[in-house]
Amino acid sequence: MSDAQTITINGYHLEFEAGETILEVARRNSIDIPTLCHLKGTTPTGACRICVVEVEGARSLLTACATPASAGMVVQTESPKVVEARKLILQLMLSSGNHNCAVRGSDDSDWTRFQLQVHGDDGSDELCPVWGDCRLQDLAYRYQVSGESFAGTETRYPMETVNPFIVRDFSRCIQCGRCVQACNEVQVNNAINFGYRGPDSKIIAAGDRPLKDSDCVFCGECVQVCPVGALVEKDVRYDIRQWNTEKVRTTCSYCGVGCQLNLHVQDNKIVKVTGVEEAEPNHGSLCVKGRFGFNFVGSDERLQAPLIKENGKFRAASWDEALDLVADKLKGIRDTHGGDALGVLTSARVSNEENYIANKFTRAVLKTNNIDHCARL
């Protein structure tokens, strides 16, 4: 192992490739360095500083996510100085905004006043909607800190609830910028960015308009990457808790890309969908249909049986009756007018095998080459 390619992290001598950050080398070697703002595959911003590490000879702590590994570097990821810095960062985050989960300790009267205020702002008597599924809360437990060390700051911006799929709760935003990175660098939708300055800072769409009046396409990428409760699916806010849901992996049926999904199922009902981050082809990204278009699965309005129209009205029929009717009609048209009087349109929402069968049926049975597919458009 040549020294030119070696870094030492927590006493382990580790090889690295040019361009790798300290964080990447650490993670590749199963050394845990906590992150909040870091979003894999995007430009590091160094916004949160929770990933700071101590590097021998450096004048200050360095962010592991933004600092390239260099030969001979000696790094400590959990030294007393590092832990102290992380505690301070977490305390500051927890004491700004409505972080009313179990980690926000204070004297009893203040706690009550604080909770009442949060409940008022939130319109709910419960703790945060992402309680138990929050990176900030996890880290607060890990480093044993609460939000009581600093006076809480007032919530500056009201919650944005007018959007069809997403609630934006600025009172729980820690300004990590992951949503901005996800929107601009992963999805390349460029719908949101940092706005205003200093304590007025806020993630905004152009003109500080609600997402529904912006370039947002409601892909929900920002919701998936938000480490806290600032961006939450609107339909199920407060209705689901992570420990009550089960994840079921599947393939999206909306188009032929084949995005990998996790269906979050509670009481045998799909309540939320997320992309599978470690799987091709989508690596966690989804479009609006894949992420939010799942209510039809459990809808009462779904057809339960084939319908046949008689005298202008539909009636339920058995599959045998419906298929016999369709077969008779198709055969009648083919035999009377020839196969080219028929045409078949297939769909990207069925499998390749089903499309292949449709192709065979059209050419071999209906005797026409009139077949097309929506994905060709």
Instruction: Enumerate binding residues for ligand FES (CB under 6 A).
Output: 35-38, 46-51, 63, 65
96 forms part of the interface with ligand SF4 (CB under 6 A): no
8 A C-beta contact, residue 48 and residue 66: no
CB of 119 to ligand SF4, least distance (A): 12
CA distance 271 to 283: 21
Q: 50 or 179, CB closer to ligand FES?
A: 50
101 forms part of the interface with ligand SF4 (CB under 6 A): yes
130 forms part of the interface with ligand SF4 (CB under 6 A): yes
CA distance 12 to 75: 9
8 A C-beta contact, residue 10 and residue 75: yes
- Dump strand ranges (E) for the chain: 6-9, 12-15, 52-55, 62-63, 74-76, 166-168, 192-195, 202-205, 231-233, 246-251, 260-266, 269-275, 307-310, 313-316, 344-346, 371-373
Q: 136 or 205, CB closer to ligand FES?
A: 136
Assign residue 76 a region (left: φ > 0; alpha: ψ between -120 and 50; beta: otherwise).
beta
292 forms part of the interface with ligand SF4 (CB under 6 A): no
| Tokens representing residue 136 in the block | 């900030």
CB of 215 to ligand SF4, least distance (A): 7
Backbone torsions φ then ψ of 318, nearest 5 degrees = -80, 165
42 forms part of the interface with ligand SF4 (CB under 6 A): no
CB of 24 to ligand FES, least distance (A): 12
177 forms part of the interface with ligand SF4 (CB under 6 A): yes
CB of 131 to ligand FES, least distance (A): 22
8 A C-beta contact, residue 262 and residue 270: no
Stretch that binds ligand SF4, among 9-17, 224-232, 336-344, 351-359 (CB under 6 A): 224-232
Per partner kind, with CB cut-offs from 5 to 8 A, the member of ligand FES, ligand SF4, none near residue 47 is ligand FES
Count other C-beta atoms under 10 Å from residue 246's C-beta.
Answer: 10
Stretch that binds ligand SF4, among 49-57, 105-113, 217-225, 296-304 (CB under 6 A): 217-225
Q: 228 or 371, CB closer to ligand SF4?
A: 228
Stretch that binds ligand SF4, among 57-65, 167-175, 260-268, 292-300 (CB under 6 A): 167-175
Report the candidate in 335, 144, 153, 123 with the shortest Cα–Cα distance to residue 232.
Answer: 123
179 forms part of the interface with ligand SF4 (CB under 6 A): yes
Query: Residue 40 burial by CB count (10 A; 0-12/13-18/19+): exposed, middle or buried?
Result: middle
Report the Cα 65 to chain-centroid distance in Å. 21
- Per-residue DSSP letters for 209-258? --GGGSS-----HHHHH-SSTTEEETTTTTT--GGG-EEEEEE--SSTT-
CA distance 361 to 236: 43
Q: 34 or 220, CB closer to ligand FES?
A: 34
CB of 109 to ligand SF4, least distance (A): 20
Report the Cα 295 to chain-centroid distance in Å. 18
CB of 251 to ligand SF4, least distance (A): 21
Per partner kind, with CB cut-offs from 5 to 8 A, the member of ligand FES, ligand SF4, none near residue 38 is ligand FES
Q: 184 or 355, CB closer to ligand SF4?
A: 184
Enumerate binding residues for ligand SF4 (CB under 6 A).
99-101, 103, 128, 130-131, 134, 136-137, 172-179, 182-183, 187, 189, 191-192, 203, 211, 216-222, 225-226, 228-231
